[in-house]
């Protein structure tokens, strides 16, 4: 496999910023890190390097509905009316559509600075609810989109069986999602084979939510899992109230009381927690999967981030509904949600004198990697060569040093500042553009024109 030498004027290393950094890449990984060196002939020269940010939660197909659910209904709007529209949209998507839309979403993720994605994939069956001849047909479309765009994929095939707490019958709108424990096991095995064709692909287990699985199903799915386990939880108040009415316990409390929640787990949203639940979740070592743009768009609420981080909780960010795909904006909104509700500034920096953007970035790189089943991260020998460079000549980087550069990306310049992106050693973005953009966008446009006709 190709070897390459990249030289950066400065780079964020695990121990801090360094100037004059040469990364030797081999077989998709960082083989060597030289610090304080001048560039040489044969080096590819760049300004500023950061480790790529993992995107721990996405439903790629929802990219195609962006901007189409922003009209107020006759009786007001909520998460649940949005979900009705989403279910109606889902009915029309063919496997080919899903591949085309996913490639579009994955391309935009890479262009914004995300290098890996956890695709929480639940659209398994044909529009009439029947399984495809190949049960992993849809999963393979996601794998194909990852292969084309080069994004690092952790595919999270979703187990979905019920419409509400206590094993309620699924609704018609959910027919494309449904599996039994046996058909899910079969799906996982077929998907594993397909994932093994990707460079550095991973798989995880994803019970959709406590609404969609029973306690017995959750035990069967998770008991022996070595892989990451992702679940939506406590996103909406109505869901919390329904859980209490059914079980006497709140969702996060219910899960922590019954399951050995540990660092394998990623609890997506976990928006509505009491202080006690917040501390217990932080102490469990599980990752909180926060999706600030989607949580704002869907009217979910604000995650108790200050208490969770103070208690040592691990977190990462996800683009979830993909209504906007923007790595730096997820971090910005995570902090702004806190500022708006706490009426304070720099709420999520770890201590006095620390940079908020940089602390959030480091935290989300570590927590995101944990949630996606990826171990060595950062610009260190042995880690996957997942690298983002920023444009040296961007006005928002003028005169900035060290962590100020990340703060300026997160709070000022945003995604316009991304220059190049490498994923597993392959350069997929140059000057902010994905190498496949000229193919991926026209194909996406054609699918959208047909879908929205
Ligand atoms: C989903 N999305 O599975 O796409 C969910 C909505 C549900 C978010 N929660 C459906 N953001 O939770 O029932
Ligand atoms: Zn989700």
Is residue 28 located within the same domain as residue 177?
no
> What's the half-sphere exposure (Cβ side, CA atoms, 13 Å) at 141?
23
In whole angstroms, give the CA distance from residue 320 to residue 230. 13
- Per-position pLDDT tens, the chain of length 453: 458 999 999 999 999 999 999 999 999 999 999 999 999 999 999 999 999 999 999 999 999 999 999 999 998 999 999 999 999 999 999 999 999 999 999 999 999 999 999 999 999 999 999 999 999 999 999 999 999 999 999 999 999 999 999 999 999 999 999 999 999 999 999 999 999 999 999 999 999 999 999 999 999 999 989 999 999 999 999 999 999 999 999 999 999 999 999 999 999 999 999 999 999 999 999 999 999 999 999 999 999 999 999 999 999 999 999 999 999 999 999 999 999 999 999 999 999 999 999 999 999 999 999 999 998 789 999 999 999 999 989 999 999 999 999 999 999 999 999 999 999 999 999 999 999 999 999 999 999 999 999
Is residue 60 located within the same domain as residue 159?
yes
In a domain, 444, yes or no: no
Interval between CA 148 and ligand 2 midpoint (Å):
23
Neighbours of ion ligand 2 (CB under 5 A): 320
In whole angstroms, give the CA distance from residue 373 to residue 205. 11
Among all chains, which residue has been given the structure tokens 């509400």? 164
For atom 13 of ligand 1, the residue with the nearest CA is: 83
In a domain, 451, yes or no: no
Is the CB of residue 296 below 6 angstroms from any atom belonging to ligand 1?
Answer: no
In a domain, 447, yes or no: no
* Residue 43 DSSP symbol: P
Domain limit, last residue, from 315, 345, 371 = 371
Residue 195 confidence (pLDDT) = 98
Instruction: Tell me how far CA of residue 6 lies from CA of 149, 260, 293, in angstroms.
Output: 21, 43, 33
29-35 and 16-26 beta bridge pairing = antiparallel
Is residue 133 located within the same domain as residue 94?
yes
387-390 and 418-423 beta bridge pairing = antiparallel
Interval between CA 412 and ligand 1 midpoint (Å):
30
Is residue 161 located within the same domain as residue 185?
yes
In a domain, 426, yes or no: yes
Among all chains, which residue has been given the structure tokens 């399984």? 131
Is residue 130 located within the same domain as residue 255?
yes
In a domain, 155, yes or no: yes
Residue 346 confidence (pLDDT) = 98
In whole angstroms, give the CA distance from residue 318 to residue 28. 24
Instruction: For residue 205, list its beta bridge partners.
Output: 229
CB 328 within 8 A of CB 415: yes
Alpha-helical regions (H) of 150-262: 181-195, 215-222, 237-247, 251-258
The DSSP code sequence of 378-405 is SSSTTSB--EEEE-TT-GGGTT--THHH
Is residue 161 located within the same domain as residue 256?
yes
Is the CB of residue 321 below 6 angstroms from any atom belonging to ligand 1?
Answer: yes
In a domain, 388, yes or no: yes
Domain limit, last residue, from 371, 392, 416 = 371
Interval between CA 72 and ligand 2 midpoint (Å):
22
Q: Which two tokens stand for residue 320?
A: 């979830």
Instruction: For residue 54, list its beta bridge partners.
Output: 116
Nearest-atom number in ligand 1 for the CA of 320 is: 11
Give the three-state DSSP class for 153.
strand
CB 435 within 8 A of CB 106: no
Is residue 239 located within the same domain as residue 352?
yes
CB 170 within 8 A of CB 161: yes
Instruction: For residue 118, list its beta bridge partners.
Output: 154
Interval between CA 383 and ligand 1 midpoint (Å):
32
Is the CB of residue 83 below 6 angstroms from any atom belonging to ligand 1?
Answer: yes
Q: Which ligand is nearest to the CA of 119?
A: 2
CB 151 within 8 A of CB 114: yes
Is residue 97 located within the same domain as residue 10?
no
CB 141 within 8 A of CB 149: no
For atom 10 of ligand 1, the residue with the nearest CA is: 83
Is residue 82 located within the same domain as residue 219?
yes
> Candidates 63, 82, 83: which one to mutate for ligand 1, based on the most atoms within 8 Å of Cβ?
83
Residue 344 sits in a domain whose CATH number is: 3.20.20.140
Domain limit, last residue, from 371, 396, 412 = 371
Is the CB of residue 235 below 6 angstroms from any atom belonging to ligand 1?
Answer: yes
Structural domain that includes position 219: 53-371
Interval between CA 25 and ligand 2 midpoint (Å):
34
Q: Which two tokens stand for residue 231?
A: 């679940």
Is residue 190 located within the same domain as residue 97?
yes
Is the CB of residue 59 below 6 angstroms from any atom belonging to ligand 1?
Answer: yes
Interval between CA 108 and ligand 2 midpoint (Å):
18
Nearest-atom number in ligand 1 for the CA of 158 is: 3
Is residue 352 located within the same domain as residue 388?
no
Is the CB of residue 239 below 6 angstroms from any atom belonging to ligand 1?
Answer: no
Residues written for the chain: 453
The burial of 396, by beta-carbon neighbours within 10 Å (0-12 exposed, 13-18 middle, 19 or more buried), is given as middle
Q: Which ligand is nearest to the CA of 236?
A: 1
Is residue 92 located within the same domain as residue 174?
yes
Interval between CA 156 and ligand 2 midpoint (Å):
11
Domain count, the chain: 2
For atom 6 of ligand 1, the residue with the nearest CA is: 83
Residue 377 confidence (pLDDT) = 82
Nearest-atom number in ligand 1 for the CA of 268 is: 9
List active site positions.
269, 320
Residue 1 confidence (pLDDT) = 47
Residues 6 or more apart whose CB falls under 8 angstroms from that of 94 comprise none
> Candidates 213, 321, 322: which one to mutate for ligand 1, based on the most atoms within 8 Å of Cβ?
321
Q: Which ligand is nearest to the CA of 210?
A: 1
CA dihedral (431, 435, 439, 443) positive or negative: negative
In whole angstroms, give the CA distance from residue 319 to residue 202. 19
376-427 tens-digit pLDDT: 789 999 999 999 999 989 999 999 999 999 999 999 999 999 999 999 999 9
Q: Which ligand is nearest to the CA of 174?
A: 1
Nearest-atom number in ligand 1 for the CA of 321 is: 11
Is the CB of residue 338 below 6 angstroms from any atom belonging to ligand 1?
Answer: no
In a domain, 100, yes or no: yes
418-423 and 426-430 beta bridge pairing = antiparallel
For atom 2 of ligand 1, the residue with the nearest CA is: 321
150-201 tens-digit pLDDT: 999 999 999 999 999 999 999 999 999 999 999 999 999 999 999 999 999 9
Residue 427 sits in a domain whose CATH number is: 2.30.40.10
Interval between CA 59 and ligand 2 midpoint (Å):
6
> Candidates 56, 57, 58, 59: which one to mutate for ligand 1, based on the most atoms within 8 Å of Cβ?
59
Report CA dihedral (89, 90, 96, 101) to the nearest 10 degrees: 60
Q: Which ligand is nearest to the CA of 298?
A: 1
In a domain, 109, yes or no: yes
């Amino acid at each position: 496999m190709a070897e390459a030498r990249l030289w950066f004027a400065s780079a964020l290393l695990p121990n801090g910023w360094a100037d004059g950094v040469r990364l030797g890449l081999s077989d998709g990984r960082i083989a060597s890190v030289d610090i304080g060196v001048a560039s040489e002939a044969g080096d590819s020269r760049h300004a500023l390097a950061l480790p790529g940010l993992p995107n721990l939660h996405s439903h790629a197909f929802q990219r195609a509905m962006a901007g189409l659910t922003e009209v107020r209904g006759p009786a007001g709007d909520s998460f649940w009316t949005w979900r009705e529209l989403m279910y109606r949209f889902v009915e029309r998507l063919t496997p080919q559509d899903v591949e085309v839309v996913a490639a579009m979403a994955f391309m935009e993720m890479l262009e914004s600075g995300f290098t890996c994605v956890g695709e929480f994939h639940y659209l398994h069956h044909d529009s009439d609810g029947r399984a495809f001849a190949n049960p992993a047909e849809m999963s393979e479309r996601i794998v194909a989109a990852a292969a084309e765009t080069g994004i690092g994929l952790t595919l999270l095939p979703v187990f979905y069986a019920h419409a509400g707490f206590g094993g309620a019958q699924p609704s018609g709108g959910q027919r494309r999602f449904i599996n039994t424990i046996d058909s899910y096991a079969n799906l996982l095995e077929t998907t594993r084979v397909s994932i093994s064709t990707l460079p550095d692909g991973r798989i995880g287990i994803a019970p959709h939510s406590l609404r969609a699985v029973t306690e017995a199903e959750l035990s069967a799915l998770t008991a022996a899992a070595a892989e990451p386990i992702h679940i939506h939880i406590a996103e909406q108040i109505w869901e919390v109230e329904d859980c209490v009415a059914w079980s006497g316990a709140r969702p996060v409390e219910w899960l922590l009381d019954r399951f050995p929640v540990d660092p394998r787990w990623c609890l997506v949203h976990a928006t509505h927690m009491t202080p006690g639940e917040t501390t217990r979740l932080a102490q469990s070592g599980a990752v909180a999967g926060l999706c600030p743009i989607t949580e704002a768009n869907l009217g979910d609420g604000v995650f108790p981030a200050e208490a969770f981080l103070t208690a040592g909780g691990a977190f990462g960010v996800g683009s979830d509904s993909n209504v906007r795909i923007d790595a730096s904006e997820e971090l910005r909104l995570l902090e702004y949600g806190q500022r708006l509700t706490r009426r304070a500034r720099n709420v999520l920096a770890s201590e006095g004198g620390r940079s908020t953007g940089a602390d959030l970035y480091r935290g989300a790189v570590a927590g995101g990697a944990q949630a996606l089943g990826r171990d060595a991260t950062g610009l260190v020998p042995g880690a996957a060569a997942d690298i983002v460079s920023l444009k040296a000549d961007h006005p928002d980087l003028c005169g900035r040093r060290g962590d100020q550069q990340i703060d300026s990306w997160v709070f000022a310049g945003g995604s316009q500042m991304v220059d190049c992106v490498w994923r597993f050693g392959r350069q997929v973005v140059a000057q902010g553009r994905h190498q496949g953009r000229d193919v991926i966008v026209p194909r996406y446009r054609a699918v959208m024109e047909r879908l929205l006709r």
